[in-house]
Amino acid sequence: MISKLSRCPLFAQMTADDIGHCLACSRSELVAYEKDQPIFFQQDKPQKLFILVEGSVAICRDTASGQRNRITTISQPGELFGEVFLFLNKQEYDNYAVAVSPSKVLQMPREYLFHSCGKNCDYHTLLISNMLSVLAQKAYYLNQKLQIMASPTLRQKISKILLQNASADGTVALHMNREELADFLNTARPSLSRELMKMQTDGLLKIDGKRIRVLDFEQLQRNL
């Protein structure tokens, strides 16, 4: 487990021993979930930080009609979720989390993230500093998404997210499958697929299976 947690930004610059001490000192627990088993409910009080160790987790919110709206999917070992609500003055979550596949999730008590344990442990201080960096990255990510969602057309939204995630050679690293990208852009998957094919026909990009490569940066920029 420690090797997987070493990828987690919360434990950045920590040794395996440091991570082990953090888990022991914080009394963190590793909890296993079956597919479709809830991890926390919308009405629960935020009391723990969740770190994915194995499997995948969906963060969801139901519409008034009862339809599930998947906000995001946590699928990489070391990914955090539920962290923002720990630092808000809210008594319950705005969404809920459910295991998409059999999963293992590390749960760290909220109190451990707010102050040191009194032993002046360097690893505890570093963990709190890393938590601030995680929250800053989250704020940046949400700002980027806000810029994308402010675009009036689906093509403009796609163009923005491609430009944000494309390397100099045009390779796009989204870390999302087609369904997750559709959820991110708040559109239906067929609509997303149609628009991507139109953009390929127009010579803006090339689709090769799950991979996308930008062919015309200037035209994508003009779409905005």
Q: What is the DSSP string of 48-100?
A: EEEEEEES-EEEEEE-TTS-EEEEEEE-STT-EESTGGGGSS-SS-SSEEEES
Lowest mean pLDDT among 16-30, 37-51, 142-156: 142-156
Determine the average pLDDT of the residues in 31-55.
95
In this predicted structure, what is the pLDDT of residue 118?
A: 65
91-133 pLDDT, tens per residue? 999 999 999 999 999 999 999 998 776 666 788 989 999 999 9
